[in-house]
Amino acid sequence: MTYNDPRDPNYRQPPRTQAYSQPVDYGQGYDQQAQYDDQYSPAPAKAPRRGPDIDPLMFCGGVLMTGVVTGLAAWLVAWVMQAIVQKINDSGQFGVWNPLAQSELWFALAGFVTAIVAGAFWYLLQISTPAPDKFYGWVVGLLIAAAVLLPLLLSAQISSGIGTAIVHLVIGLPILTLIPTMGRSSHRKA
């Protein structure tokens, strides 16, 4: 009894009747089994890729535009607050208020830079933690809460504390929502 499958424990190599320079013909059954094995054997598993599978150019562009949106929103809210308070101060009926601790351009620049830093933080969490979006939400949410509460608690003038807290909230909300959205939208297409 001869066995033609080399994986069989009772396999015996057929005697070589031909010269060593020519290939040995094992028969049609062996060729069919080899074709079957090649066709249906699972592909070797690739090592899992570490980090997000995103297009870096798209993600950086999204983070940059998040910075622009955040800066513009902070500038606009600060400008509107300054314009309203200027009208109130001009009337002289309610005293002189200072709604913001800094200028509108300061808040715009702070919003832009904060969004860029948040984008880098989001990416760092993606490559180093197991549930990165959860950690991002918690960290940024706690930082927004601190940025809103600190001016209220530490400002000498309550009007300045309220105005600054509002602008900080306007800076934080786009960062909290847009950065993860940019990450999910930047995934490479398969």
For residue range 131-164, list pLDDT tens digits in order. Answer: 999 999 999 999 999 999 999 998 888 878 888 9
Higher pLDDT, 187 or 72: 72
Indicate if the alpha-carbon torsion angle 10, 15, 20, 26 is positive or negative: negative
Two tokens at 100? 């913001």
pLDDT of 125 above 70: yes
**What is d(CA 175, CA 147) in angstroms, rounded to the nearest whole number?**
13
Band (pLDDT 50/70/90 cuts) for residue 84 is: confident
**Under 8 Å between Cβ of 171 and 70:** yes
Mean pLDDT: which of 32-36, 38-42, 48-52, 123-127 is highest? 123-127
Average pLDDT of every residue of the chain = 82
pLDDT at 73: 97
**What is d(CA 60, CA 120) in angstroms, rounded to the nearest whole number?**
9
Mean pLDDT: which of 27-36, 46-55, 85-94, 151-160 is highest? 151-160
Which residues, including other chains, have CB under 8 Å from residue 72's CB and lie 6 or more apart? 108
pLDDT at 51: 64
pLDDT at 25: 59
- Among candidates 138, 171, 168, which has minimal Cα distance to 151? 168
The Cα angle at residue 79 between residues 159 and 59, in degrees rounded to 5: 110
**What type of residue is 96?**
V
